[in-house]
Structure 1
Amino acid sequence: MLAPPSTALDADAHVALAVRPPYDWTHLERFFADHASPGVEVVTPGRYARTFSLDGQHGTLSVMPEADALSVRIRGLDSKDARDVVLTRIRAMFDLDIDPRTMSHGLGRDPLTASLVARRPGLRMPGAFDGFELAVRAILGQQVSVAAATRLAGRLVAAFGTPLTPEERGEEPGLTHLFPTPEQLLEAEISRVLNMPRARGRAIQGLAAAVRATPDLFAPGGRLDNAVGRLMALPGIGEWTAHYVAMRAMAQADAFPAGDVGLMRALDTGTGRPSRAALLGRAEAWRPWRAYAAIHLWAEDAGRRTP
């Protein structure tokens, strides 16, 4: 439930969003820190902050865990309706509306995922504040490491994003730009500026054009195969990228990026990684929660590789 927003519609609002325990803030914080776009997002211990633009207004927000709630501060909006939009995005980004008991029960039918959930019962889906932004990041991350994709994102933001004024960013060090809009990237020389393959730059331009033509491209809900099909129809977006975007930006709980090497590593019990076909076969037992199974498998893989 949302706490009542401030009745005084100044440009600085504080809201508490209730969470359903168990809730693993630490895992979300680590994930968002690893994937933060420099200039747009800053993650520090116990705090996530970012810039945003809505209805022509530029601002910043921060999210912090506080008992059984998330404490949200929004700066730069003077409209309750606009703040409600931002709060809805935050709820999706921090996966506040999932029923963890239902998800845990669904994954409990397989001994493997049941044991993973038992070890990390509060894992949630790291969602997205903005679908277009997440999809661009996913394209930047094709064939490169997360760290390399983050560096590319920082260069993209610096080259094509809108700088915030000192008044707009307020007391938020490190938040300097808005993420580039589809209009800003539609004709941008992305590949040349970022020194990356031309096909990847064209994929981002194609994505920008698609969002302009279909503003609700990343709307949640609907059938998974339809959502994935729409994304795969765009140039440069393959099955892995489409499922990754669907699970994080479109609330598709059964999306599953089957070719992901991290998922295959997590299922290696010493006899070798499973094939993609074998992974898909194993994942049938995890429907309709395959996206959450993937989050647990990624966490397991990261845990094994952390000294």
Structure 2
Amino acid sequence: MLLPDDETCYRAVQSRDARFDGWFFTAVRTTGIYCRPSCPAITPRRRNVTFHPSAAAAQRAGYRACKRCRPDASPGSPEWHVRGDVAGRALRLIDDGVVDRDGVPGLARRLGYSQRQVHRTLVAEVGAGPLALARAQRAQTARVLLETTDLSAADVAFAAGFASVRQFNDTVRDVFAATPSSLRAAGRVGARHEPGTVTLRLPYREPMTVSTVLDFLGAHAVPGLERYEDGVFTRLVPAPHGPALVSLSPGDAAVICAARLQDLRDLVTVVARVRRLLDLDADPVAVDAVLGRDPALAPLVAKRPGLRAPGSVDGFETAVRTVVGQQISVSGSRTVLGRIVAEYGEPTSDGWLSFPTPATLAAADAETLPMPRARGRAVRGLAEAFAAGHVALDTGVDRDEVRADLLALRGVGPWTADYLLMRTVGHPDVLLTSDLVVRRAAADLGVELADGRPDWAPWRTYATYHLWAHLYADLWSVTP
């Protein structure tokens, strides 16, 4: 990762510019502490600071996290939200908990590279290898659990992914310059915790109107799987040890996420998937700057500043929803998907229904699925491909390869493949020029799409959402 030059970084620190939070971290030699650029503490002298591309890199250099600005909890670097190279894919997989579940060998297998190559690439790009990055993530998870649950320290240690209580204690002291008990005491000031539920504040870069994204998700909510009531979006999120029930609502400069987990070891994975669903690691200032230069798009950007591109918590689910929703209304699609979930989904103890697995739909009779037969066969073919491991949709896949894999499937054309790249792989630069609504919106605005609009790159996915919102404002909140 190429950091801004040191003088630019220092000016951002002097101005306490929150837009740079997550882009880089400031380490102060005289105190041994690292901070986010927006830290409200007294600005250190230039000669006493160094800059690091990740919290893990600062920790690796021997610095402890600032207790005031909590730099380890800042939004993720938007660069890794954009990049499709090995480093970007690796960091997104680490965020999803792959190293904790499968180790560095598992991460390397997912990427198709050797462990040595992956380590070398990450050290060059973010200043730390996969183990150090996973350690930093475990430390942040441990702090969240200490502050928001009544679990014993030993349970927190293993839930956060540490191999032993000693390793947990040593890491907490190294990273936070505090003991687990002191972190817990600090977190309980004025806190109220619902038993069995972890409540978190998920930060993002402003501007963002959280209700805009929740309205969009709520308009597409599938009965039994999702619910949107009184501004709170609730759904089951797939996790390694069983689905988590997650409720999302707007907070003060953050999304309030209440998660009821079947296994606390899934917290890292669930948080990463919710952040992708809401596009919380985007850089809205950069997006709006590019799209706002176009006279036709400028009014749309001004109307919805910081518009996000909603993602996905499960690639297979989103693929099925996309195929089912072809050529029918949103309400019709919700009805069909609700019937599929009711028939093939797995019920949870509290009355929710998980989305059917690829193996379950692969075994279903395509002729009896509640949709036209050709589409039913497409859904079953999709499920068979996922169940056999021929197709995977997540932020760790190679974008070009997965697009080719999708196009090889029955019932999946260029529009479907590109839409899935937007939603499941997190590709920020997809313009759906063949989409009927996009074309109608472009015509209404007097915009020509024939050249693919290279001037909107690398944010053409966001342009697509702005064009959709232009004609379907009822699915989106308008920022006052």
TM over 0.5: yes
Task: Tell which has more relative contact order, 1 or 2 (C-alpha 8 A, sep 6+).
Answer: 1
Indicate whether 1:242 and 2:412 are aligned. Answer: no
Alpha-carbon distance in structure 1 between the residues aligned to 2:307 and 2:268: 25
Aligned-pair identity in percent equals 36
Aligned to 2:325: 141
Q: 1:290 aligns with which of 436, 460, 463?
A: 460
Select the structure of larger CA radius of gyration.
2
CA–CA distance in 2 between the matches of 1:42 and 1:215? 32
Partner of 1:117: 301
Q: Aligned partners of 2:428 and 2:411: how far apart in 1? A: 24
Cross-structure match for 2:361 = 185
Give the TM-score normalised by the residue count of structure 1: 0.87
The reply on whether 1:94 has 2:278 as its aligned counterpart is yes
Supply the AA of the counterpart residue of 2:466: H
> In structure 1, what is the Cα distance between the partners aligned to 2:400 and 2:230?
38
The aligned residue for residue 60 of structure 1 is 245
**Structure 1 residues 189-224: Cα deviation after superposition (integer angstroms, max 9, x where no partner):** 244131x22221121122222222338711226664
Matched, 1:73 2:243: no
The letter of the residue matching 1:187 is A
2: CA distance between counterparts of 1:132 and 1:220? 13
My pick for the range that moved more, 260-269 or 136-145, is 260-269
CA distance in 2, matches of 1:165, 1:67: 32
Structure 2 match to 1:173: none
Distance 1:18 1:304, change over 3 A: closer
Structure 1 segment 1-307 matched on structure 2, within 5 A? 1=73, 4-7=143-146, 8=151, 11-80=196-265, 82-166=266-350, 169=351, 176-194=352-370, 196-214=371-389, 217-220=392-395, 224-269=399-444, 278-281=448-451, 283-303=453-473
For structure 2, the 5+ residue unaligned runs are 1-72, 75-139, 157-194
**How far apart, CA to CA, are the structure 2 residues paired with 1:55 and 1:41?**
19
- The one-character-per-residue Cα deviations of 1:151-202 (angstroms, maximum 9, x if unpaired) are 1100000111011223xx5xxxxxx2111011110121244131x2222112
Q: Which moved more, 1:295-304 or 1:117-126?
A: 295-304
Per-residue CA deviation, residues 16-59 of structure 1 (Å, 9 max, x unaligned), is 11121111222212211121111000012321101234234243
* Structure 1 residue ranges without an equivalent (≥5): 170-175
Q: Deviations over 1:230-281 (max 9, x none)?
A: 211111111111111110111001122221111112122388xx8xxx5242
What is the CA-CA distance between 1:228 and the residue it aligns to?
2.2
Q: What value does the CA root-mean-square deviation take over the aligned residues?
A: 2.4
Q: In the aligned structure 2, how far is the partner of 1:53 from the partner of 1:179?
A: 9
Q: Give the Cα–Cα distance (whole angstroms) in 1 for the partners of residues 234 and 221 of structure 2.
A: 10
Describe the SS at the equivalent of 1:268: helix
TM-score with structure 2 length normalisation?
A: 0.57
CA shift in 2, pair 1:190/1:222, >3 Å? closer
Amino acid at match of 1:62: S
Retained in 2: the 8 A contact 1:139–1:237? Answer: yes
Letter in 2 for 1:193: L
Q: Is the 8 A contact 2:216 2:475 kept in 1?
A: no
Q: Distance in 2 between matches of 1:183 and 1:220?
A: 22
